[in-house]
Amino acid sequence: MQETITLGDIDILVTRKAIKNVHLSVHPPEGRVTLVAPVHTRLDVARAYAISKLGWIRKQQEDLRNQARETPRQYVSRESHYIWGKRYLLQVKYVDTRPGVKLDHKRVTLTVRPGASRGKREEVYTAWQRSLLHAAIPPLIHKWETKLGVEVSAYYLQRMRTKWGSCNHRTRNIRLNSELVKKPKDLLEYVLVHEMAHLIEPSHNQQFVALLDKHYPHWEEARTELNELPLST
């Protein structure tokens, strides 16, 4: 069951789950607020907890508003693009041949047919970005399946606005934000480890934190770095 607590201009989505403690979160990029409470928690108790954390909520939302934002990409020459955390200049070539993308040490070359629209240029480029992720993710899954003693049924890429990843622990499926291709590879690994740890512990309780502390000791630094990097519009 989901309910909403309204504190002035802040709406907080409340969900009840079989957990022991209340978890309050402010999600990028817009600063959406959620509160997950134990099943039998009364709404007035959840509201009192949210009020006690109102200063923290506003600080988190302010940090997100001040976070750097990427301007919308037009996929034209000399435009900046990020791959694995490194900035490249885009070069667009209009050639009557099969469209594609090549990466060298300082530029990304996008080849499209003459007259290709912005939409077509974006389609070719994002397909290439996804191919980079599909090359990087399976070895990481295999590595962490062994370390964590879990098994991932499947993973999916999805453009997500409010989270970097998600896990369905019942189906053992993981979804990853396709924007992670723009971030350093170690941050992709952090997100993947985070989601795979949910196959052991579905909630963000102390057991979950202990799992991350044991297997990925620098997870808090990785989370902070990820949430400080520019967001897409």
| pLDDT, mean of residues 47-69 | 85
Tell me which residue of 62, 23, 27, 67 sits closest to 41, measured CA to CA.
23
- What is the C-alpha separation between 176 and 194, in angstroms, rounded? 11
Q: How many CA atoms lie within 13 A of 126 on its CB side?
A: 15
pLDDT value of residue 200? 96
Choice between 76 and 224, residue whose per-residue pLDDT is larger: 76
119 has pLDDT over 70: yes
- Whether 19 has a pLDDT exceeding 80, the answer reads yes
pLDDT band at 100 (very low <50, low <70, confident <90, very high): very high
pLDDT of residue 132: 98
The candidate with the shortest Cα–Cα distance to 151, out of 131, 167, 132, 135, is 167
Its pTM stands at 0.73
Q: Which stretches within the chain are classed as H helix?
A: 43-52, 54-66, 118-148, 185-197, 206-215, 219-228
Average pLDDT, the chain: 91
- pLDDT higher than threshold 60 for residue 68: no
Tokens 């594609």 -> residue:
100
What mean pLDDT do residues 105-118 have? 95
Q: What is the pLDDT of residues 144-183, one digit of tens each?
A: 999 999 999 999 999 887 688 999 989 999 999 999 999 9
The whole-number pLDDT of residue 223 equals 85
Determine the length of the chain: 233
Q: How far apart are CA 137 and CA 206, in angstroms?
A: 27
* pLDDT of 229 higher than 90: no
Asked if residue 233 has pLDDT above 60, the reply is no
Q: What tokens does 65 get?
A: 């508003």
Q: Which three-class secondary structure state does DSSP give residue 150?
A: coil
Say yes or no: domain 121-228 is CATH 3.30.2010.10.
yes
Measure the CA–CA gap between 148 and 150, rounded to whole angstroms.
6
- pLDDT at position 67 is 62
Copy the structure tokens of residue 45: 């108790």
The pLDDT assigned to 231 comes to 60
CB-based burial of residue 139 (10 Å sphere; 0-12 exposed, 13-18 middle, 19+ buried)?
A: exposed
Q: Is the pLDDT of residue 71 over 80?
A: no
Beta-carbon contacts of 226 under 8 Å, excluding residues fewer than 6 positions away, are 164, 183, 187, 190, 191
The structural domains of the chain, with segments of one domain joined by +, span: 2-66, 121-228
Amino acid, res. 96: D
pLDDT of residue 171: 96
Token pair 């990820």 in the structure block, residue: 226
* Ramachandran sector of residue 41 (left: φ over 0; alpha: ψ -120 to 50; beta: rest): beta
Give the integer Cα–Cα distance in Å for 88 and 96. 24
Q: What is the mean pLDDT of residues 50-54?
A: 95
